[in-house]
């Protein structure tokens, strides 16, 4: 009887130890991100706002390292403007111009959790991966309803580069069970050369054949034009939708999220 009790307690302790070993080994974070361009990039685009999703796995509870992945998406330029345009056939119309510029990043994550027993846990993190700068556009001619369509739509411009982001953060647990927490993280991304569009739509483009480069910072702005065709008249016209710039990827990242441990 004593042996049965002994082995029962031993098995229970082993199972409990195994449960503790695997407990809190998965961490999921969802939240808000603000990206603030710096360096030359800061001359050409404004700060962006978006969302993040991060999943981390802890291989062994005896070591304070987590590994996993991160996906984030921010919009740094979005405009819907109505402009008067003079067509080659001398007709005049107000045109709706919709432009959306965004950055999507995919990164591997390595996090070092400082091994302290507290409701507030600081950590250091390194994110490495790639970023895609994309600009989408749609312009509709209201004079002919659906009879005037854009010759160029979606993914007007796309450019990719690598990035490395060292970061520091803090987890603030909401209960003693440490299942839920608030996560604050600040990092700085650096990467390679990338081209991107700035949706500045306030220029007078009544003369679309006049193309010029605008000097800003250390890079020239290359105007980007989109061709449109009117199905009824078959008149092709151009419209200026923004300027393309090129610089190295430099951005300050501020992230605030909520997370759960499993």
Q: How confident is the model at residue 88, as a pLDDT?
A: 62
Query: Which uninterrupted H or E stretch holds 160?
Result: strand 157-173
d(CA 113, CA 29): 15
d(CA 31, CA 185): 11
Predicted confidence pLDDT, tens digits, the chain (262 residues): 554 455 444 444 544 444 444 456 899 999 999 999 999 898 888 889 999 999 999 988 778 899 999 999 999 988 776 766 656 666 666 777 778 899 999 999 999 988 888 899 999 999 999 999 999 877 665 555 555 555 445 578 899 999 999 999 999 999 988 899 999 999 999 999 999 987 754 343 334 333 334 445 555 778 887 776 655 666 676 767 778 899 999 999 999 999 999 8
Both structure tokens of 52: 């993040």
SS3 at position 219: strand
Q: How far, in whole angstroms, is CA 198 from its chain's centroid?
A: 16
SS3 at position 16: helix
CB 124, CB 112: distance < 8 Å: yes
CB 198, CB 219: distance < 8 Å: no
Q: Which residues contact 193 (CB under 8 A, 6 or more apart)?
A: 161, 246, 247, 248, 249
d(CA 130, CA 186): 18
| DSSP annotation string for 244-257 | EEEEEEEEEEEEEE
Q: How confident is the model at residue 7, as a pLDDT?
A: 43
- What is the radius of gyration, based on Cα positions, of the chain? 26
Q: Which domains does the chain have, with CATH numbers?
A: 25-261 (2.40.160.20)
Q: How confident is the model at residue 162, as a pLDDT?
A: 96
CB 27, CB 56: distance < 8 Å: yes
- CA distances in angstroms from 21 to 9, 36, 60, 219, listed in the order given: 18, 40, 7, 54
Q: Any bridge partners for residue 202, and if so which?
A: none
């Amino acid at each position: 009887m004593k042996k049965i009790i002994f082995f029962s307690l031993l098995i229970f302790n082993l199972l409990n130890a195994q449960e503790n070993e695997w407990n809190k080994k998965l961490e999921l974070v969802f939240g808000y991100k603000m990206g603030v361009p710096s360096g030359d990039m800061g001359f050409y685009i404004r700060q962006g706002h978006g969302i993040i999703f991060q999943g981390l796995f802890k291989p062994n509870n005896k070591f304070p390292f987590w590994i996993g992945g991160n996906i984030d998406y921010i919009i740094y330029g979005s405009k819907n403007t109505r402009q008067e345009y003079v067509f080659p056939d001398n007709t005049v119309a107000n045109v709706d111009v919709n432009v959306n510029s965004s950055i999507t990043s995919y990164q591997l994550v390595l996090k070092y959790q400082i091994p302290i027993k507290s409701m507030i846990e600081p950590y250091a993190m390194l994110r490495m991966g790639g970023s895609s700068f994309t600009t989408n556009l749609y312009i509709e001619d209201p004079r002919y309803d659906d009879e005037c369509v854009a010759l160029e739509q979606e993914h007007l411009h796309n450019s990719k580069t690598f990035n490395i982001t060292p970061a520091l953060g803090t987890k603030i647990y909401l209960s003693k069970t440490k299942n839920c927490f608030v996560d604050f993280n600040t990092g700085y991304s650096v990467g390679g050369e990338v081209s991107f569009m700035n949706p500045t739509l306030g220029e007078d483009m009544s003369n679309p054949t006049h193309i010029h480069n605008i000097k800003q910072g250390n890079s020239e702005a290359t105007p980007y034009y989109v061709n449109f065709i009117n199905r009824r008249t078959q008149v092709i016209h151009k419209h200026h939708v923004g300027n393309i710039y090129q610089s190295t990827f430099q951005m300050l990242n501020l992230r605030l999220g909520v997370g759960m441990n499993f």
